[in-house]
Amino acid sequence: MIFPEFVGGVHLPSLIPYIALAGMVGFILTILPGLIWIERVVIALMQDRSGPNRVGPRGLLQSTADVVKLFFKEDMIPQSADIKIYYLAPFLTVMCAFSAGAVLPLQTLTFRLANGDLQTFPLTVGDVNIGVLYILAISSLQVYGIVLAGWSSNNKYSLLGGLRASAQLISYELSMGLAILCVVMFAGTCQLDKIVDAQSGLPFGIPDGHTFIHEIFKGSIFSWFWLGTGIVPVIIYTIAMIAETNRSPFDLPEAESELIAGFHTEYSSMKFAMFFTAEYVSMLIVSGLNAALFWGGSLPPLNVLPFTLIPGFLWFIIKVMGGIFFFTWLRATYPRLRYDALMNLGWKRMLPLGLVWLFLLAVVSLGRGPAKSADNIPEKPVTASQQVQTNPNAVAHR
Amino acid sequence: MATVIAFWVLAILSVVASIAMVVTKNPVRSALALVGTFICVAAFYILLSAQFIAAVQVIVYAGAIMVLFLFVIMLLNLGSPGALRERGSLQPIIATGLGICFLIALLLSGSLLSLPLPAGVRPAEYEPLGTVRAIGINLYDPNQPWLFPFEATSILLLVAVIGAIIMAKRKV
């Protein structure tokens, strides 16, 4: 589908960030009750229970009832809490969870420019060149909300939960970074939409051509980076993303059998709901990053008719929902890890494996030459002195 | 115009945060104020079109180093903030004096009286300098002078990491 550049004097490509922002926030907020419902239904199925079936058809309105309940619950504040930080913590957590979604590419839009050329724009809030680093930075800030919640409640269980959360996040961020680095090295860019673009080629190094086979497999499931980087990075990333979102089997910060509810023991009413929201939003965001990095983002799994009819953003959402299903599946399947087992897995298994794999992939990518991405067009290096000289104003002011 | 407004908002925020960091008696709040300062500095880097450095600033300082600081502060359980106050120390006086000297030096160098950016030059025109690509090319291109210093620094960092592990291991 090709859009015109101007409609009624409005420059459409410059509206993309606002559309993406509205779409992203709207999607996250409307899907949240659905996510909780999906989780309950799926877990009930896996554990052979009935699940929610009282409020609304098939229990669909159960989440709405929960939200209403949370709104009207009494908001309790512990007597010796550090009030300011106690209030700040849930806001920080939600804010970091939402803002990480700003660079996820939902779809590629094609515009016909005024001079007749075609140009593609990614449907993202911010198409920044540090896309992957931005998500890493925001997710590294997410620790603060949890740690401060644990500390400011002035409760030993909360403090233990907060400390566990920070130790866990720091440990698994490294492996996550290494897995992402494998993809960045193969794609040759940090920009998420270009990483998706880099997956739209032919798999297994098939030479270019225009046969039927080429058409089907161009940008298909086999040319995405889960296979392209050799499966190990996607496994490391998936484990690390579960640990980063504090979900079962890595939910030690809120282990209810040891720590009551961990870092949010002392939070009630809407402040508890905000932690709950943040957890689900960050599940969506890390699944979205997984989809964009390893599972082809908005690309259909095979380039043939029934798949190509579905627009790109729907493919992206389907992949994100696949990630959510995986989260739920794991929660119903695995018991919680012991704390030392968690640290051993992070530092002694995944980190060395990630380092060795990164090294191997570096050797491979040396062998096959520079990555063929749009970011890699040979160009003269830009230096500070050259920049100033090419700038007539700067010279005039000397 | 938007840049100027953003600059002044960030400038006020970062100065307030750094003063709060020094003045606050509660160590956790002090650490938080320092995190705020780091994030403001990262935003300054973005205003200067140095996006890569901004991201690294947040990841390394706010995301890793300050989390470790907070970790230690919380584990130490320092007790009442009043017990931490130093008495009869010369440090605050010397620090204030040196700070005033630094401010005077800044004023004399003209950094505060006339902003160094000439009129007509917008930060956006330096845009290619701060991207991941430009920094990568400048660091790794053999024609640029930075490859050797970069590799030397990375070896130094590696030595420091191994040294830290050995020193920590001895006590186990």
Q: Can you give the pLDDT of all 172 residues of chain B as single tens digits?
A: 788 888 899 999 999 999 898 888 778 888 889 999 999 999 988 888 788 888 888 988 888 888 888 888 877 766 555 555 666 678 888 988 998 998 888 777 765 555 555 555 555 555 567 788 888 887 888 787 888 888 899 999 999 999 988 888 766 5
Question: Do A208 and A215 contact (CB within 8 A), yes or no?
Answer: no
- Contact between A381 and B144 using a beta-carbon 8 Å cutoff: yes
pLDDT of residue B155: 95
pLDDT of residue A187: 84
pLDDT over 80 (residue A285): yes
Question: Do A159 and A78 contact (CB within 8 A), yes or no?
Answer: no
pLDDT > 70 in chain A, percent: 92
ipTM over 0.90: no
pLDDT of residue B85: 63
pLDDT of residue A19: 85
Class of the CATH-defined domain B2-81+90-140: mainly alpha
Q: How far apart are CA A172 and CA A351, in angstroms?
A: 8
Residue A46, domain extent? 2-50+71-373
Which residues are registered as beta bridge partners of A7? A10
Task: Please give, rounded to a whole number of angstroms, the shortest distance from the CA of B98 to a CA of chain A.
Answer: 33
Q: Cis peptide before A300, with omega less than 30 degrees from 0?
A: no
Question: For A124-146, what is the mean pLDDT?
Answer: 86
pLDDT of residue B156: 95
Q: How far apart are CA A100 and CA A355, in angstroms?
A: 26
- Contact between A141 and B118 using a beta-carbon 8 Å cutoff: no
Which residues are registered as beta bridge partners of A119? A111
Whether A14 maps to a domain, the answer reads yes
Q: At what angle do helices B2-23 and B27-47 cross, to 10 degrees?
A: 160
pLDDT over 60 (residue A384): no
Name the B residues in 10-49 with CB < 8 Å from any A CB: 26, 28-29, 32, 35, 39
Residue-wise pLDDT for A69-106, tens only, equals 888 888 888 887 788 888 888 998 999 888 888 888 88
Residue-wise pLDDT for A289-310, tens only, equals 999 899 888 888 887 778 777 8
pLDDT over 80 (residue A2): no
| Token duo for residue A224 | 């995405």
Residue-wise pLDDT for A42-67, tens only, equals 888 888 888 888 887 887 888 888 88
CB atoms within 10 A of CB A180: 24
- Contact between A130 and B54 using a beta-carbon 8 Å cutoff: yes
Q: How far apart are CA A388 and CA B159, in angstroms?
A: 38
Question: For A365-373, what is the mean pLDDT?
Answer: 65
B58 shares contact with chain A (CB less than 8 Å): yes
Q: How far apart are CA A82 and CA A153, in angstroms?
A: 7
pLDDT over 60 (residue A41): yes
pLDDT over 80 (residue A9): no
Q: What Rg do the C-alpha atoms of chain B give, in angstroms?
A: 20
Question: Do A175 and A240 contact (CB within 8 A), yes or no?
Answer: yes
Whether A256 maps to a domain, the answer reads yes
Q: How far apart are CA A69 and CA A71, in angstroms?
A: 5
Whether A56 maps to a domain, the answer reads no
Q: Which of A38, A152, A22 is nearest to A88 (CA)?
A: A152
pLDDT of residue A34: 85
pLDDT of residue B17: 92
- Contact between A393 and B55 using a beta-carbon 8 Å cutoff: no
pLDDT over 70 (residue A395): no
B139 shares contact with chain A (CB less than 8 Å): no
SS (H, E, C) chain A: CEEECEECCEEHHHHHHHHHHHHHHHHHHHHHHHHHHHHHHHHHHHCCCCCCCCCCHHHCCHHHHHHHHHHHCCCCCCCCCCHHHHHHHHHHHHHHHHHHHHHCCCCEEEEECCCCCEEEEECCCCCCCCHHHHHHHHHHHHHHHHHHHHHHCCCHHHHHHHHHHHHHHHHHHHHHHHHHHHHHHHHCCCCHHHHHHHCCCCHHHCCCCCCHHHHHHCCCHHHCHHHHCCCHHHHHHHHHHHHHCCCCCCCHHHCHHHHCCHHHCCCCHHHHHHHHHHHHHHHHHHHHHHHHHHCCCCCCCCCCHHHHCCCHHHHHHHHHHHHHHHHHHHHHHCCCCCHHHHHHHHHHHHHHHHHHHHHHHHHHHHHCCCCCCHHHCCCCCCCHHHHHHCCHHHHHCC
pLDDT of residue B139: 83
pLDDT over 80 (residue A161): yes
- In a mutational test of the B interface, the residue from A92, A128, A366 whose CB has the highest number of chain B CBs within 10 Å is A128
| Token duo for residue B98 | 């040196």
This prediction has a pTM of: 0.83
Q: How far apart are CA B134 and CA B130, in angstroms?
A: 6
Whether A272 maps to a domain, the answer reads yes
Q: How many structural domains comprise chain A?
A: 1
pLDDT over 90 (residue A142): no
Q: What average pLDDT does the structure give for chain A?
A: 81
Q: Which of A239, A230, A233 is nearest to A345 (CA)?
A: A239
pLDDT of residue A374: 45
| Token duo for residue A181 | 């680095």
